[in-house]
Amino acid sequence: MTVLRLFLLAVALAAAFALSACGGDDEAASALDEAVGYLPEDSGFAFIASTDTEDYEDFEQLLDKFPFGGRVTDMLTQRLAAEGVDYEDDLKPLLGNYLVIGVADNASFTDSESDTPFVMALETNDQDKLEELATTDTEERGEAEGYDIYQGQQDDTWIAVKDEVVVLSNSEEELKAALEQRGEDDRLTEDDVEAAFEDLAEDAPLRAYVNVKALLAADPDTGDALKIKWVDHIETLGFAVDAHDDGVSLEYRLGTDPEGLTDEDLPLAAGAEAPQVFEREGDSAEIVLGLRDPSRVIEFGLAAAQAVDPAGFGQFEAGKEQIGKRLGIDVDKDVIDQLTGDLQAVATLDGKFGLRASVEDAAAFERTLAKAMDGLPKFADDVTVTEPAKGESLYGIATQGGQTYTLGMARGAFVFANDAALAGDVATRRLVDADGQEGALVAVADAERLANEALAKFTSGLQAIGGGLFTGPLGDYTQSAAASTEGISGGIQLEIE
């Protein structure tokens, strides 16, 4: 028995545990279409997992790169034995198709204080074995919609079986509603969920479908958010998790209705072009980030604030204008409109950060900064400004609360950091291309170094006594996001060497 077969059992066949412890419609286009059909077409969420063990072979090979990976097998074997389930005899014959776990009650799903009933469905490959498993340690509770109903040893375990199909819920009412939903025209279909996975990895064994539009409509607290034009155009969100020879990837696509949207409505600058990022220090655990046209992010935030709270935004605008007058600058024209180039940033686990932003007119921005630094102590009496030393160009800011910052112009770019040494570093650090990444937002880090530093910092020296054995296979972590009027797509990749 391989690690991944057991992993699959533990993650994607939780229902089998419930069965041991406690007919689909001919019109279904596929086993996936069958499984999602027990949810309504406006279902807010559905998790979809392949139960074909061959789909997880790459995951298994990656897991083998870590020490003590075999312990996973032992732990799951013990769990199976405790439940009285034999993988080869009881479960393996059922595997091969997609398992779906979803919700029909969107309102309870969006309410953190409510218990959300779930529906799980799977078309198995062995009718006799399914019936045998379903009738073990369960009580017959009649029929509904042609399905045999069983209750598990736990009061909230309800199971329906028909031919090769098993449907499970933690609510009798929800289970029967799902069985009825399967025969309705307004059920969720394979075409509905596949549309959310457009341009994502087609063979990813783990996927999640989110009907964002339906969830927003079901949540009474999202009325203000829907006043934001871009948010009101959001439709679905799809996730796909897959493994490869050299790592694990999570891809996503947040789809929007492009009708009536323009690039100026987006939260990120449109297009696939990626900004450059800082060259990483060889022995430093840091995250480097690149953002193209940060003014687009700022303008989106301001437009969103205006849409959600016009009165509050009006007060903000009046305050911004007053601040500008007292500092002798026009915040919109002299600051925001200048930030149309690329921004690079670096952050460390100990809370240090620094950024460098290209500006449209360096000389004008330097004059703006000089005015602002001259007026800041008069505007905020708890702030002290230190002028640049002779031959230098960076100001120092200190607050009575103990925070210190360094900022100024260097080599035609604006520099800002909460550490003086880091400010000097980002002012001169070399830029490199974000290889293989697309979109206005990209990030890169050395996952092994980050993990080692986190272990050393937060686990009382665990890294020093062997934690590095577990982090050794980790390579680069990369992240990206690209925006268009049709949505935001991107992903996270983790190299495992």
pLDDT tens-digit profile, the chain (497 residues): 343 344 344 444 444 444 444 444 447 889 999 999 999 999 999 999 999 988 988 888 888 888 766 666 667 667 767 767 777 777 788 888 999 999 999 998 988 777 889 999 999 998 998 888 888 888 999 999 999 999 988 778 899 999 999 999 999 999 999 999 999 999 999 999 999 999 998 889 999 999 999 999 999 888 889 999 999 999 999 999 999 989 999 999 999 999 999 999 999 999 999 999 999 877 778 999 999 999 999 999 999 999 999 999 999 999 989 989 888 899 999 999 999 999 999 999 889 999 999 999 999 999 999 999 998 888 777 889 999 988 888 999 999 889 999 999 999 999 999 999 999 999 999 999 998 899 999 999 998 888 888 887 766 555 544 556 678 888 899 999 999 999 999 999 999 98
| Residue 320 one-letter amino acid | K
E strand map for 349-486:
353-358, 383-386, 394-399, 404-410, 413-417, 431-432, 441-446, 474-484
DSSP letter for 263, please: G
Separation between Cα atoms, residue 191 and residue 28, nearest integer Å: 11
Under 8 Å between Cβ of 12 and 95? no
Alpha carbon 164 to chain centroid distance? 34
Over its C-alpha atoms, the chain yields an Rg (Å, rounded) of 28
The residue behind tokens 């291309």 is 433
State which amino acid sits at residue 357: A
pTM of the model: 0.88
3-state secondary structure of 378: helix
369: left (phi over 0), alpha (psi -120 to 50) or beta: alpha
Q: For residues 332 and 338, give the distance between their C-alpha atoms in angstroms, rounded to a whole number.
A: 9
